[in-house]
Amino acid sequence: MNYPWHYYLMAIFYIVAGTGHFIKPKWYLRVMPPHYPSPGKLVMLTGILEIGLGALLFFPALKNWGLYGIMGMLVLFLSVHTHMLKSKEAAAGIPRWILILRLPLQFVLMYWAYSYLTL
């Protein structure tokens, strides 16, 4: 498995991000939209999902599953980002301009994952 360094960076990024769900679950609970059922379980589930999808990128036979999963996960996370824009409490003290920039960043991250489907 000989991919560019930034491919491995992406894998590690998602593993670290998923680990954050277990280190600071209260922060993730704060940003969870109120209409989602069982927010505590969803925080843990999304943490496991991020870690798992990042880990799949280290296995060539499972790489595309991981990449498609990451893209789908990022689409689902758009609702969290829009909720953070609408709710001052959910914004968690993050400046509004950063919250606005996070929306197009999601699409950049989706493209980043998509770009490795051809490797």
Residue extents of the structural domains in the chain: 5-114
**From CA 39, how far away is CA 75, in angstroms rounded?**
18
Which pLDDT tens digit goes with each residue over 43-78? Answer: 999 999 999 999 999 999 999 999 999 999 999 999
pTM of the model: 0.91
- Are 21 and 34 spatial neighbours (Cβ–Cβ below 8 Å)? no
Query: Residue 53: its pLDDT value, please?
Result: 98
1 pLDDT more than 80: no
Other C-beta atoms closer than 10 Å to the C-beta of 38 total 10
Q: Which two tokens stand for residue 59?
A: 């296995």
Query: Residue 92: its pLDDT value, please?
Result: 84
